[in-house]
Amino acid sequence: ESGVAVMGHIGLLPQAISVTGGFRAVGRTATRARQLVDEALRLQDAGIFALVLECMPPNVAREVTECLEIPTIGIGAGNQTSGQVLVFHDMLGMLSHPHHEAFMPKFCKKYASVGHSIQEGLQDFRKDVEGGQFPSEEYTPYAMKEDEKKLFDNLLEKDADDRHRRHDEAADRYVKADEYEKLNLYGPK
């Protein structure tokens, strides 16, 4: 309502790790996975423009993505989201931000130049995401036990019609607002 674009975030919330007791995958039980689906739908209804899905089983991330009309961005959530992100400091094994290089004070001695390696790493990441090689199963470690998967599927079946209706209503709202377009997060292919 105030014109501020908001991106939602569910699953692992790094800013809350001191409260939750550390970095832990989320949604590995059917009940918690179902709660994540509901959280995503509520956030979409509240008006977010996209949703980050962090550290959850890929089947849960896929279901959330399919339920929503807005794009999802996965980080540790499998390859069935609308797009992927990694913290590039982690991805490239860095401790400092490359943006600092452009604004290096005159009194600082430059001990290394990692710009070219960073560029190559980011280009390789983009290529792997676009080509569907990342994240592979090797980088999707969060799984549900088979009995929890079945329970999750059963929970989803109970209100599948309602979720489809809500999905269609959200699509109609976006079309009527004349702001709807399917996003390809990495430009035309």
**pLDDT score recorded for residue 180:** 47
Give pLDDT tens digits for 52-88: 999 999 999 999 999 999 999 999 999 999 999 987 7
Q: Tell me, yes or no, if 54 is annotated catalytic.
A: yes
pLDDT tens per residue across span 1-47: 678 999 999 999 888 777 777 778 899 999 999 999 999 999 999 99
d(CA 32, CA 36): 6
User: What share of the chain has pLDDT > 90, as a percent?
Assistant: 60
Residues 1, 54, 63, 66: which is the catalytic one?
Answer: 54
- At 82, the amino acid letter reads S
d(CA 25, CA 77): 9
pTM of the model: 0.70
Q: Which residues, other chains included, contact 52 with Cβ-Cβ below 8 Å and sequence gap of 6+? A: 7, 8, 9, 10, 11, 72, 73, 74, 75, 85
For residue 101, pLDDT beyond 60: no
Find all residues with CB under 8 Å of 75, minimum gap 6, and list them.
52, 53, 54, 55, 84, 85, 86, 87
* 109 compared with 51, residue with greater pLDDT: 51
Burial of 68 (0-12, 13-18, 19+ CB in 10 A): buried
Task: For the beta carbon of residue 186, count every other beta carbon within 10 angstroms.
Answer: 12
